[in-house]
Structure 1
Amino acid sequence: MIHAPQPWWLPALLALSLFSDALMSVRPPMFIQRCLDGVRFPRDWWWTLITIKLAATAGLLVGSKYPGAGFATAVAVVGYFVCAAIAHYRARFLGSEFWINCLGMLALSVAAAVTYVV
């Protein structure tokens, strides 16, 4: 059964992280550029990541009132970072960007999703 997340701050931290990442991606610093180029993500499509992260932020915030929406969003964010991890692996781009950023966000996303069902 889906219920209000306990602890509440894990989905909030995920939302804050995604929102911060989206803001930084408007004018991406070198480490974000290096990451996206490293996985060969086309520069013409970088704007889609900002849209996805902002939508996920909104979904997680809505989830504070409607837990089902928050859970669905958290699961979608897990899927997003699983796809990112696969892209890193396929591109053989397995530096610190993969281990710290990608897998770190994947772990945070899984933890946030679990808070809705525990």
Structure 2
Amino acid sequence: LQTAVVEGDFDAVKRLIESGADVNASPSKRDTPLLAAIAAKKPDIVKLLLDNGARFDLSPDPFDGGPLQRAAKSGNVQITSMLLEVGADVNTQSEKSEFTGTALYEASRLGGIDILEMLLGKGADCN
């Protein structure tokens, strides 16, 4: 599943999920299919994974943040919006908060004004 996600092969991802692939499997200590889809900027695959139970609160890497932080950092408005729509906590912080801040912090560093406004509109704590 991870390989199909990284390659952006929507049809293969769909077939694998239909065949019972675990959408929350962590093939490495630092990744999940959802995180890989976010990194690849594949909103169609992100949606497919979320629709099939991918956990948006799961991040095996305490240094790089969870799905919402990574989406905000990448500047991808569509994926950030999707994660907020399914209930991602706008104020969540990594275990190792000295390395990765909240989604608002990450967006302020790298993400762009549209994402900042979106996060603030969803109640992001700016303090």
- Verify same fold: TM over 0.5: no
More helix by share: 1
Q: What's the TM-score, normalizing by structure 1?
A: 0.27
TM-score by length of 2: 0.25
Q: Which has the higher contact order (CA 8 A, sep 6+)?
A: 1
